[in-house]
Structure 1
C-alpha cells in the first residue's frame, strides 16, 4: 500500500489535483480539468490512480464525477498527505 500511495503522489498532475481537493470540499471533474489545464481523459486517468491508491473518493452527479479526499483515510496517511502537500507548497514559494 505504501508504494502505491507514494507512486500516486510522485506524479505532478496528481499532486496538483490533491492540492485542489485538500480544502476538504468536493470538486467536479470539470473544475479539475479547468484548474489543471488538462484534458478530460488525462484527469480521469490520474483520478483513477488516486482512487486506486485510496486517496480520493468519488460520486456520480449526472454526467460529471465529483471528487474529494477519501474521508476514511487512516491518520498516518492523512499526515503523509498533509506533509507532502506542505512540502510542495514550500518548494513552490521558494521557486517563485
Structure 2
C-alpha cells in the first residue's frame, strides 16, 4: 500500500495535483488541466493513478469529474502525504 502511495506521489504532475487538492475543495479535471498545463487525457491518467493509490476520490458532475483528497485516508497515509508535501516546500525554499 505505502509503495503505491509513494509511487503515485513521485511524479511531479501528480504531486502538484495533490498540492492543489490540499485545500479540501473539489476540483474538476478542467481546473487541474488549466493550472498544471496538462491535456485532459494526461490529467485523467494522473488522477486515475492517485485514485488507485486511494489518495483521491472522485464524483461525476455532468461531463466533468471532480476530485478531492480522500477524507478516509488512514492516519499513517495522511502523515506520509503531509510529510511529502512539507519536504517538497522545504526543498523549494532551499533551492530558491
TM-score, normalised relative to structure 2: 0.96
Specify the SS of the correspondent of 2:93.
Answer: helix
Specify the SS of the correspondent of 2:58.
Answer: strand
Unaligned runs of 5+ in 1: none
Distance 1:92 1:64 in 2: 32
CA contact (8 A) 2:9 2:15 kept: yes
Query: CA-atom RMSD, angstroms?
Result: 0.7
Measure how far apart 1:43 and its partner are: 0.4
Specify the SS of the correspondent of 1:65.
Answer: strand
Matched residue, 2:9 = 9
CA contact (8 A) 2:2 2:77 kept: no
Does residue 63 of the first structure (1) align with residue 68 of the second (2)?
no
Could you list the runs of 4 or more consecutive aligned residues of structure 1 that deviate by over 2 angstroms after TM superposition?
none
Distance 2:22 2:70 in 1: 10
Distance 1:92 1:35 in 2: 19
1:68-87 equivalence runs, <5 A? 68-87=68-87
Paired residue total: 96
TM-score, normalised relative to structure 1: 0.96
Specify the SS of the correspondent of 2:65.
Answer: strand
Distance 1:79 1:24 in 2: 16
Measure how far apart 1:65 and its partner are: 0.5
